[in-house]
Amino acid sequence: MIIERQIAGARPGLAVDLTRTGAEWWRGAVIYQIYPRSFRDLNGDGVGDLAGITAGLDHVASLGVDAIWLSPFFTSPMRDFGYDIADFCDVDPLFGTLADFDRLVARAHALKLKVVIDQVYSHTSDRHPWFAESRSSLRGAKADWYVWADPKPDGSPPNNWQSVFHGPAWTWDARRGQYYLHNFLPEQPDLNLHHPEVQAALLATARFWLDRGVDGFRVDAVNFFMCDPLLRDNPPAPDDGRPKTRPFDFQSHVRNQSHPAIPGFLERLRGVLDAYGDRFTVAEVGGENALAEMKDYTWGGRRLDSAYGFSFLYASELNPGVVREAVSAWAGGAGEGWPSWAFSNHDAPRAPSRFAQSEAELGPVARLASLLLFCLRGNAFLYQGEELGLPQGEVPFERLQDPEAIANWPATLGRDGARTPLPWRAAEPFAGFSTVEPWLPMDRRHPALAIDLQEADPGSMLHFTRRLLAFRRSRPGLLRGELRLLEAPAPVLAFERCGEGERLLCVFNLGRGAVAWTPPAGAWRLAFTTGAAGSLPHALEPLSGYVLTR
Ligand code: BGC
């Protein structure tokens, strides 16, 4: 194999600013994402809660992850299941209280888990008191805290912008006699982050949670923070051959989002975090310019620390091209932030179901995808249930909860199927998630993959994940080394991870047939494999991965 291209961090230190030493806790961290509604229900109402999370942290810590990321648990009418926030600084009664949150953080820290929480600054709930005040008058103190606009002379919305979920991004408000902007649901009015007081209020929110002891933020929908103040129309999207499910897909989103002033706000946010020491920030960035924006939002060590996009979250297959393109484009080179990667989360169909071509492939694909994820350069997000190899849950139309899924059914991104309850104990009703019917149904295949059954089986995905994370932790080259893609004929993917005195060769057969393979010359030995431990193989089994060291 010939070294093709070096794509990351060629000169350590160059991208690191004065407040970052390169040895931060989060560099190379594995962060376990908890979706609170579906993790564990302790108070018996069918919806997960903070006490359930605290009780389940032993399981999370036993995996060997470094941190948890909690999706929103703040006061919310739950129209977008917590991403519509009515009070940024309190806990929704469905999930518990601030005291429950403090207990959760204390338990996590006792288990040596850092706590990262979601921050949603692009919009609030329409029940937030700021919105109530803003809609009440054209001249009040908060009149401009949201994006308001007069109708066109014919009464139609001020421009052609469409919401992500469905339909126009504008809703008429009879109280003000104006339209307000919502890039997501009508119940999620967009905050006007061009307004200095709005920025100050959001930074106060950040301080509130940092003072409570959180270790970092996942910053939601960052490129939606600011729109074009002139409210000019979006142009039509170029025809790239991709299916258009929603009106949103027909536009190029150059005006409703991604305003060049967004990084200035991120620098202010970073200023707040720097006063608290070693805290971590990761941006969620989607859309047509995600890569450029991930770099922009983390640029120069003065903005956010890291960002993740959707290259793996929405990929319909796992092939060498997808991986090569993703890691080449988001390499964390000089000046750029530190990469983060996610294969599954609460918005995307679970990875094994996207990447497997049959039910029989779900298990092998889950192992292969995990090994790949944990060999990449950057932070890895592990979504609850990924450690069990859960396939995407099946949710019949009558049980759908997600407004996006309902509006676009059957051509949906399937968010409900990724949010079904976590199976804890196979033999109990609802697999031990709750004592009553959960808010989303337990998938019929999930109890057989429950935590208790997998605990008892040393060959399970759960034990595989633990071994894999222990392996990753023991290899500084994997945690912080550079990544060099190697030439290899598809369906083989190969790269090296080098650094901290280590050199590791990572080889994957992403195809369905065995591939003859000559192990590299030298004193290489097999350090980790998706198959049975042993000596260096001379053929790569279908859907398999190997890490070699010397
Ligand atoms: C979250 C989604 C949410 C949206 C609007 C996202 O990117 O991950 O779950 O619906 O932001 O807040």
Q: What is the mean pLDDT of residues 166-192?
A: 97
Q: What is the mean pLDDT of residues 352-363?
A: 98
Q: For residue 240, what pLDDT is reported? A: 86
Alpha-carbon distance of 442 to 427, in angstroms, equals 13
Q: What is the mean pLDDT of residues 205-231?
A: 98
Q: CA-CA distances (angstroms) from residue 12 to 21, 295, 332, 339, 497?
A: 10, 17, 11, 15, 14
Q: What is the pLDDT of residues 290-311, one digit of tens each?
A: 999 999 999 999 999 999 999 9
Q: What is the DSSP letter of 216?
A: E
Residue bearing tokens 């929110």: 205
6 pLDDT more than 50: no
Nearest CA to ligand 1 atom 8: 347
Tell me if 117 sits within 8 A of 98, measured CB to CB.
Answer: no
398 pLDDT more than 80: yes
How much is the mean pLDDT over the chain? Answer: 94
Q: Tell me how far the alpha carbon of residue 442 lies from the centroid of ligand 1, in angstroms.
A: 23
Q: Is the CB of 284 under 6 A from ligand 1?
A: yes
Q: Is the CB of 496 under 6 A from ligand 1?
A: no
Q: Is 385 left (phi over 0), alpha (psi -120 to 50) or beta?
A: left
Q: Is 292 left (phi over 0), alpha (psi -120 to 50) or beta?
A: alpha
Q: For residue 4, what pLDDT is reported? A: 32
Catalytic residue among 41, 100, 126, 284: 284
Q: Is the CB of 541 under 6 A from ligand 1?
A: no
Selected residue with higher pLDDT from 127 and 523: 127
Q: What is the pLDDT of residues 303-357, one digit of tens each?
A: 999 999 999 999 999 999 999 999 999 999 999 999 999 999 999 999 999 999 9
Q: Is the CB of 83 under 6 A from ligand 1?
A: yes
Q: For residue 142, what pLDDT is reported? A: 98
- 220 as an active site residue: the answer is yes
- Closest-lying ligand 1 atom to the alpha carbon of residue 404: 10
Q: For residue 520, what pLDDT is reported? A: 86
Angle between helical axes of 362-375 and 461-473 (0-180°, round to 10): 10
Alpha-carbon distance of 480 to 485, in angstroms, equals 16
- Closest-lying ligand 1 atom to the alpha carbon of residue 122: 12
> pLDDT band at residue 23, thresholds of 50, 70 and 90?
confident
Per cent of the chain over pLDDT 90 is 90
413 pLDDT more than 70: no
Q: Within a 10 A sphere around the Cβ of 213, how many other Cβ atoms?
A: 14
Q: What is the CA radius of gyration of the chain?
A: 23
Relative to beta strand 539-540, strand 30-34 is unpaired
149 pLDDT more than 50: yes
Q: Is the CB of 220 under 6 A from ligand 1?
A: yes
62 pLDDT more than 50: yes
Burial of 355 from C-beta contacts in 10 A (0-12 / 13-18 / 19+) = buried
399 pLDDT more than 50: yes
- Closest-lying ligand 1 atom to the alpha carbon of residue 183: 5
174 pLDDT more than 60: yes
Q: Tell me how far the alpha carbon of residue 257 lies from the centroid of ligand 1, in angstroms.
A: 15
Relative to beta strand 216-219, strand 178-181 is unpaired
Q: Tell me how far the alpha carbon of residue 283 lies from the centroid of ligand 1, in angstroms.
A: 12
Q: For residue 20, what pLDDT is reported? A: 77
73 pLDDT more than 60: yes
Amino acid letter, residue 381: F
Q: Which of 151-160, 205-214, 239-248 has the lowest mean pLDDT?
A: 239-248
Q: Tell me how far the alpha carbon of residue 83 lies from the centroid of ligand 1, in angstroms.
A: 6
Alpha-carbon distance of 280 to 304, in angstroms, equals 8
CATH number for 481-549 (one of 2.60.40.1180, 3.90.400.10, 3.90.226.10, 3.30.470.20): it is 2.60.40.1180
Relative to beta strand 482-486, strand 114-119 is unpaired
SS3 203: helix
Q: For residue 245, what pLDDT is reported? A: 87
In the chain, residues under CATH classification 2.60.40.1180 are 481-549
541 pLDDT more than 80: yes
- 487 as an active site residue: the answer is no
Q: For residue 217, what pLDDT is reported? A: 98
- Residue 64's φ and ψ, nearest 5 degrees, are 90, 25
Using the Cα atoms of residue 474, residue 34, residue 279 and residue 305 in order, give the sign of their dihedral. positive
Please spell the DSSP secondary structure of 305-343, one letter per residue.
SEEE-STTTS-SS--HHHHHHHHHHS---TTS-EEEEES
| Buried residues in 451-477 as b, exposed as e (16+ CB within 10 A) | bbbbeeeeebbbebbeebbebbbebeb
Q: For residue 19, what pLDDT is reported? A: 66
SS3 293: helix
Q: What is the DSSP letter of 389?
A: T
11 pLDDT more than 60: no
Domain 26-125+195-233+245-473 has CATH 3.20.20.80: yes
546 pLDDT more than 70: yes
Our mutation pick for probing the ligand 1 site, out of 79, 184, 413, counting the most ligand atoms within 8 A of Cβ, is 184
Q: Tell me how far the alpha carbon of residue 165 lies from the centroid of ligand 1, in angstroms.
A: 10
266 pLDDT more than 70: yes
Our mutation pick for probing the ligand 1 site, out of 73, 80, 285, counting the most ligand atoms within 8 A of Cβ, is 80
Alpha-carbon distance of 354 to 348, in angstroms, equals 10
Our mutation pick for probing the ligand 1 site, out of 34, 347, 404, counting the most ligand atoms within 8 A of Cβ, is 347
In the chain, residues under CATH classification 3.20.20.80 are 26-125+195-233+245-473
